[in-house]
């Protein structure tokens, strides 16, 4: 498995150079790993990112290797401006080509007890969820981007019907939604910028199967999205060359109704029925 070396390395010439290059932040695990695997299967070379050194999910690596997709692992803490500034140049230097697709998937979500978040919580969430995606998109645009270059920001269905809790996270994702529209115009015509707003996907161990089933029943489509639904939406927007400044909701219709609390509380308390 390739690793990001401490010093400079020669650019990859084959077979990665024959493929468009995608950088997916937060792609070692969970939804980011599904997105990266789907892109590799669709013909992309992959720059996999995590906030610190570690091993990507074994299933992700197996899918990339089965698809013959070249990949490289990069570590960068997205709350560190210097690390953010260096990430896109490191990726481009290793592969010897510009980043064609940036998926800003990495996210900060920390539970809050206070009804109104303090400054520390706001700064922490905004750094990773809004400032870093903005800076990475600007770095991609500064590369002399290739035809078809695209940025996809991973949002959240709650941006349009925000619940009353987890406000630092919600507000930072709302900010990223506005960044999406603003950058779509600022970076035209060379870079398209769109967003995908998932609903509850890949529930954590906080949810029992019964709770997940109850939440699915609350959705207008009576189902929750699967990881492949989200990955397919990313792949669609990556190729939608007449589309920019748009947000695609993939949430079972959750954005069409208001939930008073975060899903984890609804699942536990039976609220929202």
- Mean local confidence (pLDDT), 186-207: 94
- The pTM for the full model equals 0.91
Would the pLDDT of 112 be above 90?
Answer: no
DSSP 113: -
Q: What is the DSSP string of 138-155?
A: HHHHTT-PPTT-EEEEE-
Q: What percent of the chain has pLDDT over 70?
A: 89
pLDDT band at 111 (very low <50, low <70, confident <90, very high): confident
pLDDT band at 10 (very low <50, low <70, confident <90, very high): very low
Q: What is the pLDDT of residues 146-181, one digit of tens each?
A: 889 999 999 999 999 998 888 999 999 999 999 999
Q: How remote is the C-alpha of 213 from its chain's centroid?
A: 25
CA distance 186 to 156: 23
Would the pLDDT of 5 be above 90?
Answer: no
- Average pLDDT taken over every residue of the chain: 91
DSSP 241: T
Structure tokens at 55: 């091993």
CA distance 19 to 100: 10
> What pLDDT, on the 0 to 100 scale, is given for residue 3?
55
> What pLDDT, on the 0 to 100 scale, is given for residue 27?
98
For 168, phi and psi rounded to 5 degrees?
A: -60, -45
Would the pLDDT of 35 be above 60?
Answer: yes
The domains found in the chain, sorted by start residue, are 16-206+224-256 (3.40.50.720)
């Amino acid at each position: 498995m390739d690793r990001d070396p401490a010093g400079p390395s020669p650019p990859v010439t084959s077979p990665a150079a024959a493929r468009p290059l995608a950088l997916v932040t937060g792609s070692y695990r969970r939804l980011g790993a599904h997105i990266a695997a789907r892109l590799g299967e669709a013909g992309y070379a992959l720059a996999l990112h995590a906030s610190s050194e570690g091993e990507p999910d074994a299933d992700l690596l197996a899918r990339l290797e089965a698809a013959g997709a070249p990949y490289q692992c990069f570590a960068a803490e997205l709350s560190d401006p210097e690390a953010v500034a260096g990430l896109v140049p490191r990726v481009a230097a290793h592969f010897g080509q510009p980043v064609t697709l940036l998926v800003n998937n990495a996210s900060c979500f920390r539970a809050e007890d206070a009804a109104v978040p303090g400054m520390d919580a706001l700064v922490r969430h905004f750094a990773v969820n809004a400032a870093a995606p903005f800076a990475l998109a600007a770095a991609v645009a500064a590369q002399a981007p290739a035809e078809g270059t695209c940025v996809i920001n991973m949002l959240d269905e709650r941006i349009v019907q925000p619940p009353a809790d987890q406000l630092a996270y919600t507000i930072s994702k709302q900010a990223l939604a506005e960044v999406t529209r603003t950058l779509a115009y600022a970076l035209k015509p060379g870079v398209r910028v769109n967003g995908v707003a998932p609903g509850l996907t890949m529930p954590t161990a906080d949810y029992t199967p019964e709770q997940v089933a109850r939440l699915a029943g609350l959705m207008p489509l009576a189902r929750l999205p699967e990881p492949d639904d989200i990955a397919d939406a990313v792949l669609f927007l990556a190729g939608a060359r007449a589309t920019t400044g748009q947000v695609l909701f993939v949430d079972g219709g959750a954005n069409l109704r208001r939930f008073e609390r975060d899903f984890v509380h609804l699942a536990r308390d039976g609220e929202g029925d």
